[in-house]
A and B are shown apart, each in its own frame.
Chain A
């Protein structure tokens, strides 16, 4: 996020108008995942904010993590984060990604997304509603300006 050069500032400005979103399902129950996908579909249509869903971390500006982190997906989330170019944002979607949620006590859950990567914004809810997710993404984009 440390972009103080002219070019860096310009990049931030552009990205805030057209963030590319990468979604990764940690150990979520799918509830938040289908709500993230629902954001992209005609009713909620997050594309009106310029957001585009991408499957490639190297094209992505915003990482949406749903679900808690376990020992097996920890390196995956870290790797995805490292592959994303700067400046980048991470948003944790749903109770599980925020804290571990209902599965916090499970033996195979380390905790929320913060266990793996620095999280900039948290969207609570179980499952997080699309309105909340869009709100989170739009607020997070404010950080780019």
Chain B
């Protein structure tokens, strides 16, 4: 038995673009325990509802996280709309779903790149991010923004996609899919990747349940939980195929995400096909009075919004439980017994979003 040492990991680390700090208790090279301390990105934006009115707060909600920005805005809008009893026009709901699924494509491609970078596969990182630029161009074309585009508002969406633009949009999506075949093929078949990821960070189904894991982390351990199957937004009209794996290791999580990319592309095409015509927003009058939850499936897992209004312009409480926050216990469990060199890979395998976690 070696001597125990405590090694600080982060907040500034070459592999991680975001600041997370872990105190790793090591015995030789083996991690015995990991203690997180968060707060580097904590802004306290849940309290900002007291200073920004509920319409204006959509902009803040979108900036909880710049990666799944659209879905945060959408989740907040859905919660407020439920409180106020607003019926969002069907077309707006479909447009939201299109952008939400496109956000998933963008986020998973981003993750693939970061994962490749973490295991030292620099060219795959570059290729994933090159492909991701097509997705960002699609956002740019339809909303005018690349990562934060404020397309969602309470009562509907700000932009419409007309037929001509939709055609270009779908053409671009085809290109993304073509590029994806190449990258996904490499990711699945490359010996060095599978050698590095298979059998690493195994989370059994029982552990995943006990630790409250969500999203691809849970699905890779065989839990078929996906909030989209509950039919929020337009998902009631689309049949979402939940992607699961059984082995619960890093490779399984990668595989789930890759298959979700194809699934998201399929859902966008389906949305474009069955999207009804009509208005894209409805007028909002009055102030929210009451409380409601909204939940949706982000790239990283289920996000839960709680909104409570007292009839004034300002909400009384807004709570956002983000997927990475819920996945932290699973991460800490995975780190136990891991090699020090695998720590960055294990952190990236849950696709952490620290700014979501700390808000």
Contacts and interface: CB of A to CB of B under 8 A. Distances in A.
A34 interface: yes
A25 B13 CA distance: 11
B147 A127 contact: yes
Interface in B5-30: 11-15, 17-19
A2 interface: no
Contacts of B125: 41
B63 A29 contact: yes
Contacts of A72: 39-40, 42
B44 A107 contact: yes
Interface in B43-93: 43-45, 47-48, 51-52, 59-60, 63-67, 69
Contacts of B136: 38
B47 A106 contact: yes
30 contacts: A27-B42, A27-B355, A28-B41, A28-B355, A29-B63, A29-B69, A30-B17, A30-B65, A30-B353, A31-B63, A31-B148, A32-B66, A34-B67, A34-B110, A35-B147, A37-B17, A38-B129, A42-B126, A42-B130, A54-B14, A55-B14, A76-B12, A105-B48, A106-B48, A107-B47, A108-B44, A109-B43, A126-B148, A127-B146, A127-B148
B291 interface: no
B48 A73 contact: no
Contacts of B354: 30
A27 B63 CA distance: 11
Nearest to B134: A43
B355 A30 contact: yes
A28 B42 contact: no
Interface residues of A, number: 39
Nearest to B107: A34
A80 to B, nearest CB: 6
A68 B43 CA distance: 9
Contacts of B47: 106-107
A43 B133 contact: yes
Contact of A27 (B41, B48, B66, B353): B41
A23 B253 CA distance: 28
A34 B17 contact: yes
A34 to B, nearest CB: 6
Interface in A76-109: 76, 80, 102-103, 105-109
Interface of A: 23-35, 37-38, 41-43, 54-57, 67-68, 70, 72-73, 76, 80, 102-103, 105-109, 126-127, 129
Contacts of A56: 14
Interface residues of B, number: 43
A25 B43 CA distance: 13
B133 A30 contact: no
A56 to B, nearest CB: 7
Nearest to B127: A42
A73 B45 CA distance: 17
B17 A108 contact: no
Given A106-B44, A106-B45, A73 B66 contact: no
Contact of B13 (A27, A33, A55, A107): A55
B128 to A, nearest CB: 9
Contacts of A108: 42-44
Given A76-B12, A106-B47, A127-B148, 19 more contacts: A26-B41, A28-B41, A29-B148, A30-B353, A31-B147, A31-B148, A33-B17, A33-B18, A34-B110, A41-B130, A43-B130, A54-B14, A55-B14, A70-B43, A105-B51, A105-B52, A108-B42, A108-B44, A127-B66
A92 B311 CA distance: 40
A30 B66 contact: yes
Contacts of A126: 63, 148
A36 to B, nearest CB: 8
Interface string B113-147: 10000000000011001101100100000000011
Given A24-B12, A43-B130, A106-B43, A73 B19 contact: yes
Nearest to A130: B146
Interface in B259-313: none
A73 B358 CA distance: 13
B15 A28 contact: no
List the 9 closest pairs (A to B, CB-CB), nearest first: A55-B14, A31-B66, A41-B129, A30-B66, A108-B44, A29-B66, A42-B130, A27-B41, A29-B63
